[in-house]
Copies of this chain bind each other. A is one copy, B any other.
Amino acid sequence: MKGFAMIQIGKAGWIEKEKPVAGPYDAICRPLALAPCTSDIHTVFEGAIGERYNMILGHEAVGEVVEVGSEVRDFKVGDRVVVPAITPDWHTREIQEGYHQHSGGMLAGWKFSNIKDGSMAEYFHVNDADMNLALLPDGIPLETAAMIPDMMTTGFHGAENGDIQFGDTVAVLGIGPVGLMAVAGAKLRGAGRIIVVGSRPVCVDVAKFYGATDVVNYRDGDIADQILKITDGKGVDVVIIAGGSVDVMASAVKIAKPGGRISNINYFGEGEFLPVPRVEWGCGMAHKTIRGGLCPGGRVRMEKLIELVKYNRVDPGKLVTHVFKGIENVEKALMLMKDKPKDLIKPVVLVD
């Protein structure tokens, strides 16, 4: 079969591979909708996760089941499914410790286009289908559904880890697709004021649609100064970091109130340290809690997010600015993520 792969650091292209085989608990799917992720760009062109040879890319997919292993109970050939970016090995000690994202080791729940072939191929393999797939109900467009496996679960995890309480003021630093989903998630956890940091008009518009009340542009000065100013020097209850370099941590700590929560969902690809500013962190005493975590995956998470889409609590489809038809356009879609044209938030490729 054909797959669009990282051939080595700096080089991507179509390759031929054997069609994957399902173990007794696994499924083989063909993609119906695919979305490239900024992390695919980091992986290929920046070597963010190290060298890989001929690894098929892609971890955001809606698919159709074409084969199931002998022990799979809940899925059958023909089922349309949402495939999470994170497909843990549920048969590990870490599951019992509470973090499926780290089953088998730190971040090891992330398998597609990291430690195995991804979904940008004619077929892809899903480990433990009963635990990692979720049925896609009728009525949700494929391009909308394609935002659930990573964008929505990641953005919403930012809101969860922020422990937002009714009426809290929340700052979202970065309004790429993940930051936009954090805005939507913050609203759906009960945030009052939502201040976003961003500058691209297409993103600002969608941020407002999802619930942003104030927009801060880094071109207008230091973002911490600006946010402190518009909050009368008080700062915010919750900061969600959804972009930036390691230095963004300093801004986040500065704008958090004593007792505030800082929730990171940004993947930091470079830098030795994230700097926590001593004085603004109260010399260690300010009760400004710092969290950061890989998005939840697995079946139940997908089902719960699907419920939110199905009942119109949120429309992640607003992220999709570009739709392509035909799997051959995966390359074009991926390059869009690299080039970031003005009008882009997120592209989706519909396979059929």
Contacts and interface: CB of A to CB of B under 8 A. Distances in A.
Nearest to A298: B96
B272 A166 contact: no
A107 B313 contact: no
A113 to B, nearest CB: 15
A140 interface: no
A298 B98 CA distance: 13
A341 interface: no
B168 A304 contact: yes
Given A106-B282, A169-B307, A305-B167, A259 B93 contact: no
Contacts of A241: 284
Contacts of A189: 188-190
Contact of A278 (B192, B250, B271, B307): B271
A266 to B, nearest CB: 5
B188 A107 contact: no
Contacts of A257: 97
B190 A258 contact: no
B107 A286 contact: yes
Interface string A287-302: 1111111100011110
Given A91-B130, A190-B188, A192-B307, A292 B299 contact: no
Contacts of A284: 241, 264-268, 274, 292
A289 B287 contact: no
A131 B277 contact: no
Given A91-B91, A285-B267, A308 B167 contact: yes
Interface in A239-282: 241, 246, 249-250, 257-259, 264-278, 281-282
> What interface size band does chain A fall in?
35 or more
Given A90-B91, A190-B313, A259-B98, A274 B272 contact: no
Contact of A102 (B156, B167, B273, B286): B286
A64 B107 CA distance: 35
A192 B166 CA distance: 18
A310 interface: yes
B308 A283 contact: no
A156 B266 CA distance: 31
A129 to B, nearest CB: 11
B167 A307 contact: yes
B166 A160 contact: yes
Nearest to A235: B106
A94 interface: yes
Contact of A107 (B169, B272, B285, B289): B285
A222 to B, nearest CB: 16
A308 to B, nearest CB: 5
30 contacts: A25-B91, A90-B90, A90-B91, A90-B96, A91-B128, A91-B130, A93-B131, A95-B131, A99-B259, A101-B285, A102-B287, A105-B258, A106-B286, A156-B166, A160-B166, A166-B185, A167-B306, A167-B308, A190-B313, A193-B307, A241-B284, A246-B278, A250-B273, A268-B283, A268-B284, A272-B278, A273-B277, A276-B290, A284-B292, A289-B290
